[in-house]
Structure formats: C-alpha cells, structure tokens
Amino acid sequence: HLPNSADTALRARAAKVIPGGLWGHLNAKNLPEGYPQYFRSGEGCRLVDVDGNSYVDFMCSWGPVVLGHHHPAVEAAAEAQRRLGDTLNGPAPVLVDLAERMVDMIPHADWCLFQKNGGDATTACVTIARAGTGKRKLLVAKGSYHGAVPWCSPSMAGVTTEDRAHILHYDYNDIASLEAAVDQAGGDLAAILVTAFRHDMARALDMPDPAFARRMRELCDETGAALILDDVRAGFRLHLGGSWETIGVRPDLSAWSKAIANGYPLGAITGAERWREPATKIFTTGSFWCEAVPMAAALATLTELVRLDGPAHMKAMGERLRAGLSAGAAKHGITITHSGPPQMPLMLFADDADFAKGSAFCSASLRAGAYFHPKHNMFLSCAHTPADIDRAIEAADAGFAMVAAIG
Ligand code: PMP
C-alpha cells in the first residue's frame, strides 16, 4: 500500500481554510481511491507526490506539461528572463519575439494577443467576435468546456440566466443541428465556438468530421460570424499550426493556453487580419498578462516542439501505449475501447456506466506506478520514451488483474 500520511495531513489542514478542500478540476475527490492531492516534484514524465511515491504521469498537469516536467531548456530560458525581470512597467522584448513566432508557426494567424489562462483566451475571443460583428449570439457545442466564467461555466451556481442569454447550442459533428442553431440566431450571430475534437468528460472522444468542420467554415463565411477554435486543451499536441490544420479548416480566431509554455502561466489568441481591428478596440488585460518569464518559457517550448516534432513523438508514444493496453486487456479477457487522438487518449471499459471498472483499474495501476485517468482524456508528452510506456503498460497489468478479479 502507498504511504500517504503527508497527503492526508495536508488535506485535513486545507479542509479548514479552503472551501471544499480545493476548487475546480484538480480536486482529488473526483479521482479514484488512493490518488494523491499534493505533489512534491516532477521530472520528465515522472511525478512524485508529497509522500515520495513516484508515477509515470499520463495527465501532464492536465495538459500544460508537453515537453515533460521541469524541462531543462525551458527552465534555463525562464531563469535567464527571471534574472532580468518578470512583471515590469511594460513587456520585455520577448513579447514581440513570441508574437512573431506564433504568427510564423500558425497559418491562420496574422496577429497574436497574450493572457494567462485558457478561459481568458476563450472569453476575449468572444468579445472580439462581438466587437467585430456588432452581434450577440454565440453557438457552443452541447457539453463542451470553454472555461470557468459565467458565460461558459459548467455550474449554474452563482450564474444568472442573463449571463447565458445569447448562447445557443448545437451537437458536435452534427451538421443539421449546427444549421438549425445558425437559423435560430437569425441575423444576430457573432461566433461559433468549437473545440479541436470532442473531448467532453466521461464519454468516448470524437475526432472532428471534416465535412462538419467545412460546413461550419461555410456558415461563418456566409454570415460573417467568427469561427473560434478553442485549442486550449489540444493545442500543440496534434499539429503545431493549430489542431484543425489536420483537417484543412482554418479558424478566424484561436484560443490557446495549457501547453504553450510547458507549465508556465500563459494564454494566447491568434487571429486573422479581418479581426485585427476589433482586437484593437476591446479592452482586455490583467495585472500579470505581460509577465516576461512565461513568454520566455513559451519561446523555448515552441522551439523544442519544432525541433523534436513533438506531435509525431507524442502520437507514436500514444500508439505504443494503446497497443500495450489492448494486449493487456485481451490477456485478462477484458473488453476496452480507445478513443481520441493517440496524443490525448482515453480508454474506457465495456459495460462500465458508473466507471467502477475504470476506477478500479486506475487505483491498482496507480499503486503499481502509473498515473492514468478513468474518464478524462489523458495527455502524452515529449518526455515519454518507449521504456516509460512499457513500464506503464506493466503497471496497467495490475489494473487489468484487479478489473478481472472484481468481474
Ligand atoms: N477550453 C478548453 C477546451 C479547456 O480544456 C480548458 C481547460 N480545461 C479551458 C478552455 C479553460 O482553460 P483554463 O482552465 O486555463 O482557464
């Protein structure tokens, strides 16, 4: 059994001073039994919890860590900038270097803005779209996550119906529902938001149907609405030019964050020329949005991703993981399905509506040294090597044995 006394003690202290113990998606109460809440350190694809247990990590901080924890080139770039200054009276030169790099790398991008979190980026995209069209309605896929602010929070607690007054829904990959929502918006459509693929929690992942994506592009062109690609979660793992480069459809605006700076706090919006003027007019900022250290980290991260061909490496490692998990499941006579891109995989068990099997699998695999997730897409990084994947597949054998044992 894993030692967990330091984690337990921290949780008990937090329960008194932090509402609910922890806000948001990282709260370990939503994870299977035995998962730690607190971590001591990370190195490459290894994560060490506060009690000293080490895991091969398949969540990568829920996306940000794309090169591996504590990556030397990123840390060196961040440290060099930190010695010069981080939050100053204005940005450091690295702001311009990074904006130029983004515009060079991303085909639809003529300009770039920076924020902190993904929700800052998606929210500012919406503001730019409304400023640029003078219209109000937003189309959002049912169940898609775009952030934790009132217009898009998954919880209605503290949110008013007025906050959602101009949101209409469509079903991901369903052209008829998209057309119906465009009709419903009448002449008042500001934007269609879409995630890179359907990555809603607790269900199989769906890749975007190219015909659906092309129809969305047409509808935006016909109505003048902005096609906003929310690439916060998938960005830089599927394609370095934006995730929809893989299907040949270009957005007007893209929201980025998570992987852009390998764990340093940074969000970004890239946009096409037509949206430069509204992006100039809106008021968007934050006390820390010009921080130079995350920008230096981002520049180093993007350089490494290009040098390593990060998406191809992560794809190969994700495919190796899938093949190993499939073989492990078959050995124990267990039926599983894989979905999503190999770089951001999800494995579900057959007949597991309550995720009892997935949770048992994850708890037992965790004890054997692999940190998986039963119902959220996982994340590969450039630090995963074939040996790490094989080590995790070994740990997963304990997970499959547990599932076989509980029937
Ligand atoms: N959009 C998507 C697709 C996301 O996955 C997330 C974060 N999980 C966000 C937006 C919001 O990003 P953040 O939590 O950094 O505000």
CATH number at residue 211: 3.40.640.10
Q: Is residue 67 part of a domain?
A: no
89 and 50 inside one domain = no
- Ligand 1 atom at minimum distance from 234 CA: 3
Centroid of ligand 1 to alpha carbon of 277 (angstroms): 26
CB of 233 within 6 A of ligand 1: the answer is: yes
Which domain, by its residues, includes 320? 5-62+309-406
126 and 239 inside one domain = yes
213 and 345 inside one domain = no
Q: Is residue 121 part of a domain?
A: yes
CB of 338 within 6 A of ligand 1: the answer is: no
223 and 123 inside one domain = yes
114 and 27 inside one domain = no
300 and 186 inside one domain = yes
Domain endpoint, select from 308, 343, 362: 308
Q: Which strands form 370-371's sheet, in the order they lie side by side?
A: 39-43, 46-49, 54-57, 370-371
CB of 146 within 6 A of ligand 1: the answer is: yes
Domain endpoint, select from 266, 290, 308: 308
Residue 39, φ and ψ in degrees, nearest 5: -125, 145
- Ligand 1 atom at minimum distance from 257 CA: 15
CB of 231 within 6 A of ligand 1: the answer is: no
Q: What is the number of structural domains in the chain?
A: 2
Per-residue pLDDT tens listing for the chain (407 residues): 578 899 999 999 999 999 999 999 999 999 999 999 999 999 999 999 999 999 999 999 999 999 999 999 999 999 999 999 999 999 999 999 999 999 999 999 999 999 999 999 999 999 999 999 999 999 999 999 999 999 999 999 999 999 999 999 999 999 999 999 999 999 999 999 999 999 999 999 999 999 999 999 999 999 999 999 999 999 999 999 999 999 999 999 999 999 999 999 999 999 999 999 999 999 999 999 999 999 999 999 999 999 999 999 999 999 999 999 999 999 999 999 999 999 999 999 999 999 999 999 999 999 999 999 999 999 999 999 999 999 999 999 999 999 999 98
Looking up tokens 């047409």 gives 218
CB of 118 within 6 A of ligand 1: the answer is: yes
- Ligand 1 atom at minimum distance from 267 CA: 15
283 and 213 inside one domain = yes
CB of 377 within 6 A of ligand 1: the answer is: no
Torsion sign across C-alpha atoms 69, 75, 77, 79: positive
Domain endpoint, select from 242, 275, 308: 308
ipTM exceeding cut-off 0.85 for this assembly? yes
pTM summary value: 0.98
Q: Is residue 335 part of a domain?
A: yes
